[in-house]
Structure 1
């Protein structure tokens, strides 16, 4: 399985509001993807930081998710938000 852990780091409240606005649809689409085991993006105590945890069945399903995400409304609307991710393969 492929695990992604990390954070979205917004530069402003406006960027954080973009996440808040587009996140429900992004989560719905992601959770409907083949191979998505779990997908969570949650607010932290810092209003500019969002915690991200993803788990996909394998490299292929994770890669498909990445392609879809980049081509989506979420991808275009949040493209300037800094992503700090660690991706690992787990048993």
Structure 2
């Protein structure tokens, strides 16, 4: 399993609006990907910060996700937003 967790840190309300505009479709498309076991992008008490929780069955599924995201509306629209992630890897298919 590959489990990225982290935050999106928007510099201002304009960037937050971009996240809001694109988030639902991004979550929908990601959850439909082969190998995606879990995916959430949620607001925090700070309106400029979002938590991100992901889980993919293996590195290949995660790499495929990353490729799709780079070419997506979400990827282009949020490219300048700071990301602060930790990626954990664990054996097994749980």
The TM-score normalised by the length of structure 2 is 0.95
Aligned to 1:46, the other structure's residue is in SS state: coil
Consecutive unaligned residues of structure 2, counting only runs of 5 or more, are none
- How far does the alpha carbon of each residue in 1:51-81 deviate from its partner, in whole angstroms, 9 at most, with x for none? 0000000000000000000110000000000
Consecutive unaligned residues of structure 1, counting only runs of 5 or more, are none
2: CA distance between counterparts of 1:71 and 1:78?
12
RMSD over aligned Cα atoms:
0.6
Counterpart in 2 of 1:81? 81
2: CA distance between counterparts of 1:55 and 1:73?
21
| Pairing of 1:1-91 with structure 2 (within 5 A) | 1-91=1-91
Aligned to 1:28, the other structure's residue is in SS state: helix
- How far does the alpha carbon of each residue in 1:10-42 deviate from its partner, in whole angstroms, 9 at most, with x for none? 000110110011000000100000000000000
Count of residue pairs brought into register by the alignment: 91
List 4+ stretches of structure 1 deviating above 6 A: none
Aligned to 1:86, the other structure's residue is in SS state: strand
CA displacement at 1:90 relative to structure 2: 2.0
The TM-score normalised by the length of structure 1 is 0.98
